[in-house]
Homo-oligomer: A and B are copies of this chain.
Amino acid sequence: MKQLKDEALELIAYRLKMLSDPMRLKILHTLQGGEKSVQQLVELTGAGQANISKHLSQLAQHNIVGRRRKGLHVYYYIADDSIFKICDLVCKNMEKNMQRFNDVFG
């Protein structure tokens, strides 16, 4: 087992923090269907414009999404697919827990 330094743990935690917010996950999940402008994300998620922009700049700082300007619009896209693998792992594990729950109490 590799020994991780505190600094490394902080980096991992800092990155996972990006994925531990429902609205950011919703944005990412929406972007999974292809790149979207801020406007489109506002419509598709139902969140406020400033809110979306703030989340997007955070995600961009972490290189989780990329941005591309086209006239007045700025299009954002997924730049790091590994986030979905992470979500899948979490989902699978939750399913397993549900199953165990059902096995015992169902």
Binding site for B on A (CB under 8 A): 1, 4, 6, 8-17, 19-22, 24-26, 29, 32-33, 63, 80, 82, 85-87, 89-94, 97
Contacts and interface: CB of A to CB of B under 8 A. Distances in A.
Which 8 A-B residue pairings sit nearest by Cβ, starting from the closest? A16-B20, A17-B20, A13-B22, A9-B25, A20-B20, A10-B22, A9-B22, A82-B93
Contact of A32 (B1, B93, B94): B1
A13 B19 CA distance: 6
Work out how many copies of this chain go into the complex.
2
Contacts of A32: 1
Contacts of A21: 13
5 contacts: A6-B22, A16-B19, A16-B20, A82-B89, A82-B92
